[in-house]
Structure 1
Amino acid sequence: MKSRRNSIVRLSMVAVAAAALSLSACATEEGPGGGGAWVPAGCVAGNTTGGTVHPDIQFSGATNVRGNGTLSGNWADGNFVVSSDGSCSGLKFAAMTIVQAADQSAANSLCALLGAGTDPATATAGSGYDLPADAWACSETFFL
């Protein structure tokens, strides 16, 4: 009887350890081709260049995960104004996907794999965002 009870306890401990390992694996939130802390979580400041307002992007820190960037805004004087001052303030109203890829072809493949759009991805380099040169925005922006 004691031997059977010890076996059950050992099996239970193995099951708990396996569950803990699988949960910690989920916590990394890395998608395909994800490589750790590529861009840290936080607000990526938008700006206005050439009369175009670029909204702030609240980046989750998760690489190559659909919806890893959110856009926020506020109502002011009857108008909805996106946050573009580096604060990422206001109500989250839309999400987008930013992927890490060597070129547009690789970005397009990742975006399609994630279900984040099939139109060509847009390079963030030269856009005014403080993101690495290998950051690409997928074509899909969806409302929350």
Structure 2
Amino acid sequence: MERTGFEADGRALDTLARGLCRRCATDALARGGEVDAGVALLEEMVRRGYALRKRAYTDVVRALCDRGRAREALRVLVLVMIVRDFVPGRNAFDALLGELSRQGRWPDAMAVYAAAVKRGVAVSWKHLVSEEEEEPVRLGVPQ
């Protein structure tokens, strides 16, 4: 868009990023490429200082988690929280917590959970079973 002289505002770029990632989160995930393009666009938008809606960040994190790319999803979450001083929504945290748990990365999952709680995000990551212990891991707000 820049090469053609078209100047896009934050809303247009946000829509483009969400569209790329939403497409990726469905059948296009297997084809590859779209998630990487979504992440690159998100990083560029953050670098340029565009304020995005929570949905854009959530779509990128979810698309990465759907592909088992928790490390990159965690990097996006940290980028958003530290560089942009922005707190993503519950769905982004839930997707990342689910993928980290699936991978058995408990220390990382606990750190993400703590970051969500510290920032006032009520995640729904409550009852998980550790493969090693075969006992529920209970986290979250007491019921």
TM over 0.5: no
Larger helix fraction of residues: 2
TM-score category (smaller protein): under 0.3
Q: Max radius of gyration: which structure?
A: 1
With a CA cutoff of 8 Å and minimum separation of 6, indicate the structure with the bigger relative contact order. Answer: 1
Scaled by the length of structure 2, the TM-score of the pair is: 0.27
